Structure 1
Amino acid sequence: MNNNKINFNAARFITSAPNIRQMPADTGVEIAFAGRSNAGKSSALNTITQHKSLARTSKTPGRTQLINVFELSEGKRLIDLPGYGYARVPEEMKLKWQEALSEYLQQRDSLKGLVVLMDIRHPLKDIDQQLLQWASDCELPVLALLTKCDKLKSGARKAEVLRVREAVAMFGGNIRVEAFSSLKGLGVDQAKDVLSEWLLQDDVTAGTDEPA
């Protein structure tokens, strides 16, 4: 896949929305990033787009409370969803975030792919598995990035990727698993290839509709 057609560095912040009713029009293609609050989601977005502070990072997990929208080009967006599963967040707030997350995932027609971020040392928590199963049931392709992979030596890293690949097979569907490190830049090119394929799918479809 040639990802030169997608300039990830062109990403720019559009808006933060508490729910889908305050998001941009539901057209074009969106790729959503979801993960536990300490999985390195914001760092991954910043690394992929080559922006140091496109997505806000915080030493206190659970600070991302809104759906953040970043536009790459007209009709092509990256979505930073609220982090989930952080125990120190008050229960009422946690339920509010999860409601917004569920609403977006179930009702947003422009959502064409989901990036699920999991710390390679603690993957496939119950809530991660629920998200993967939902995506599979909805026939939504998933890129599972095992973040902070620089924390493991090469052999252990490869073994964990293989283990998670075998584990996610039970969900069926289209789930790709890759190791990822924002710190070392590992897995960035692979992630961009997958994202480009998803973001360009409407262009390909439009091309096949043209008369010969």
Structure 2
Amino acid sequence: MKIKQAEFVISAVKPDQFPEDALPEIALAGRSNVGKSSLINRMIERRNLARTSSQPGKTQQLNYYRINDMLYFVDFPGYGYAKVSKAQRAKWGEIIESYIREREPLKLLIQIVDIRFPPTEDDCLMYDWLKHHDIPVCVVVTKCDKIPKGKWDKHIRIAKETLQADPSDQFVLFSSEKGIGREELWEVIQRAIAG
């Protein structure tokens, strides 16, 4: 996918702030510090359009990025971060839940897990919830440059087993550092948009 244009549009905190131009939306979810912003930046080949932070829990809204005037990436707040108050987490949970269940332009949810660790309880809850609501999901197993190539298959198998993944769901191995998986993920996204 050749990126001609990519821009940050809005940090939305309620539905009436969501864009109304009906472009397809690809949402990204994962625990805090799993590398969502880095993945977005690699996908659009921009160094820091999506702000990365060493401080987990930084994304506190739904951040919209318009790509080539043909789709949006929607970056969710990271889940499972302990330093955020329960009330704040509950508020995020509500906005994300209503977005996922009611948002017409949502075509695919990319759930990001770190290859170095088995998916967490929060990862499993998110995956189960998406499956329960029939949301199309692609699991991106990121940071693959951090472990030897010979161990990739084993770690992907652990991720699939831990999530009890539906065999029809796609898993994409990814490295924001090296660009591994970028083209494959764009193909998954384009198929989801085409329906």
* TM-score, normalising length: structure 2: 0.91
Alpha-carbon distance in 1 for matches of 2:47, 2:193: 22
Structure-1 residue corresponding to 2:187: 193
Alpha-carbon distance in 2 for matches of 1:140, 1:8: 26
Point out where structure 2 has 5 or more consecutive residues left out of the alignment: none
**What do residues 182-206 of structure 1 show as CA deviations (whole Å, max 9, x unaligned)?**
11211112111111212233xxxxx
Alpha-carbon distance in 2 for matches of 1:81, 1:19: 13
8 Å CA contact 1:69, 1:77 repeated in 2: yes
**What do residues 18-53 of structure 1 show as CA deviations (whole Å, max 9, x unaligned)?**
122211127231110111011001000000110111
8 Å CA contact 2:5, 2:69 repeated in 1: no
Structure-2 residue corresponding to 1:54: 49
The residue type paired with residue 145 of structure 2 is D
**Selected match of 2:137 from 122, 138, 142:** 142
Equivalent position SS for 2:26: strand
Structure-1 residue corresponding to 2:105: 110
**Superposition deviation, residue 12 in structure 1:** 1.2
**What do residues 48-80 of structure 1 show as CA deviations (whole Å, max 9, x unaligned)?**
110111111001010100111111244521111
Alpha-carbon distance in 1 for matches of 2:104, 2:18: 12
Which structure carries more helix by proportion?
1
Structure-1 residue corresponding to 2:172: 178
Point out where structure 1 has 5 or more consecutive residues left out of the alignment: 202-212
Percent identity reads 35
Equivalent position SS for 1:62: coil
Cα distance change of structure 1 residues 100 and 123 upon mapping to structure 2, 3 Å threshold: farther
* TM-score, normalising length: structure 1: 0.84
Structure-1 residue corresponding to 2:81: 86
CA RMSD of aligned residues (A): 1.9
Q: How many residues align?
A: 195
Structure-2 residue corresponding to 1:45: 40
